[in-house]
Amino acid sequence: MNINERKNWIRLLMAVNKKQIKQLAEQITSGWALRYKSLPQSGLGMLKLRDGALQEPFYLGEIPIASAWVELTLPNGDKAEGAAQVMDDDKDLAEALAVCDAVLANQLVGHDLLTVLLQQGANKLVAEQRNRKQMLKRTHVDFSLLGAEGEYDEKN
């Protein structure tokens, strides 16, 4: 997963420790002004799915959602926007992720610290992906006809 693409940042950051994200966002923006373009909020979202048979949409159920959209004003007056919508019910986390999004998108001071977190997240996701693929690999069915050489013949 490319850690330089904005579309991947939320997923990568969500893979690391949430407390770490909040602390780092607070540390980076210390002394900066923060204005909400939309208030951080938490609630629910309806998960809309296309059924695989007749291809009709329906609601599978609900998911927790937290969102935030912030504008940062740096000491020199420059402004930067960032936002996050994440499957969680912690709006403080959404705000921290929005700050991270702004810092990374605008290459602000502290983006290098966040890049380290992105890499940590990428490593964790790679490990998770490897684990899931192992489940598939180990349980892949190798069909063979009865009588042909295969698992049964080898063991008996």
Interface ranges with other proteins (CB under 8 A): 6-11, 14, 38, 41-65, 67, 69, 81-89, 101, 105, 129-141, 143
Complex with other proteins: residue 57 or 75, whichever CB lies closer:
57
Q: How far is the CB of 95 from other proteins (least distance, A)?
A: 13
Tokens of 55: 């291809």
Complex with other proteins: residue 3 or 31, whichever CB lies closer:
3
20 and 36 Cβ atoms separated by less than 8 Å: no
Backbone φ, ψ for residue 150 (5° rounding): -175, -165
Q: CA of 71: how far to CAs of 2, 17, 85, 99, 132, in Å?
A: 25, 24, 15, 8, 38
Complex with other proteins: residue 31 or 138, whichever CB lies closer:
138
Q: How far is the CB of 77 from other proteins (least distance, A)?
A: 20
Identity at 21, one-letter amino acid code? I
Q: How far is the CB of 145 from other proteins (least distance, A)?
A: 10
Complex with other proteins: residue 28 or 104, whichever CB lies closer:
104
9 and 115 Cβ atoms separated by less than 8 Å: no
